[in-house]
Structure 1
Amino acid sequence: MLYNIPPILSPDLLWTLRAMGHGDEIVIADANFPAHGLGPKTMRLDGISATDTLAAVVQLLPLDTHVPTPAHTMQVVGEPDAVPEIVAQFQTMIPDHKIGSIERFAFYERAAKAFAVVQTGETRLYGNIILTKGVIGT
């Protein structure tokens, strides 16, 4: 056991967060996301929500301050300006950073290039977010 580590973060996920470098991206995905077919290493957090996962991850992962939007969600198909309730929750969890949105298939393409994907048990639609890792300043 370790102090101050959210208990939902598995050893594999902790290793992944530590191994990522500046500019690497990680996807937190809902239960419907085609994670295993995209290519990056996929870790599962079945039974854990995407919001709980995001809250745990951002306690440890610095977001990139050198890009305008270090976090991106998937746009609602046919309604690119819609903001699903879960996306609004994501924004409250990272208030110092603007969250961008990406068209569905462009989101899949970007996710395919990510360092890793964390597939959660999230059942709310559009519960997907890509985070860009930043640096820890001195």
Structure 2
Amino acid sequence: MKRTLLLHPELSQSIARLGHGDMVVLADAGLPIPDGPRRIDLAVTPGVPRLADVLRAVLSEMQVERAMIAREAIDAGAGHVLPAWCAGQLTIAPEMISHEELKRLCARAKVVVRTGECTPYANIVLCAGVTF
């Protein structure tokens, strides 16, 4: 049995196969997923699993050098605060891109992970880094 937080074998294997710069998208339940990338569907019911929980597990195994979220996910009224599903989890500041650009990046991702998250624009692109 694995000792790390991430127990899902297909997701763990996908992370192990990443090369420098490869992208993983963690998606809410409604993000359209193109035909190209490997699709891992974790959604069970609305809200299960939450994107924050999947992000925490993925970050326990993946070296991330870059992250991107949609500008639309940021609450401008609260002083451009990161959304709750992302806040405090990343060691780097995510780049802000349009939701349309995020959807285009999905086609180039190695894997797209669908969660049960139902918060609008709750999607994040993670770019693999190196550990040396």
TM-score above 0.5: yes
Q: How does 1:118-129 map to 2 (within 5 A)?
A: 118-129=113-124
1:58 paired with 2:54, answer no
SS of the residue corresponding to residue 86 of structure 2 reads: helix
What CA RMSD, in Å, does the superposition of the two structures yield over aligned residues?
2.3
Q: How does 1:29-68 map to 2 (within 5 A)?
A: 29-35=27-33, 37-46=34-43, 47-64=48-65
- Structure 2 unaligned blocks of 5 or more: none
Deviations 1:75-125 (A, max 9, x none): 219x8957787734413101x201111112111111110111000000111
Deviations 1:27-83 (A, max 9, x none): 000001112x3521110111211100000000110112xxxxx00112219x89577
- Structure 1 unaligned blocks of 5 or more: 65-69
Which residue number in structure 1 is paired with residue 87 of structure 2? 91
Identity rate, percent: 28
Runs of 4+ in 1 over 4 A off after TM superposition: 79-86
Shift of 1:11: 1.0
The number of residues matched between the two structures is 127
Residue 12 of structure 2, aligned match among 7, 11, 14:
14
Question: 2:6–2:61: 8 Å Cα contact kept in structure 1?
Answer: no
Which residue number in structure 2 is paired with residue 67 of structure 1? none
Q: What TM-score do you get using the length of structure 1 for normalisation?
A: 0.81
SS of the residue corresponding to residue 91 of structure 1 reads: coil
Counterpart AA for 1:113: R
Structure 2 CA distance, aligned partners of 1:120 and 1:126? 12
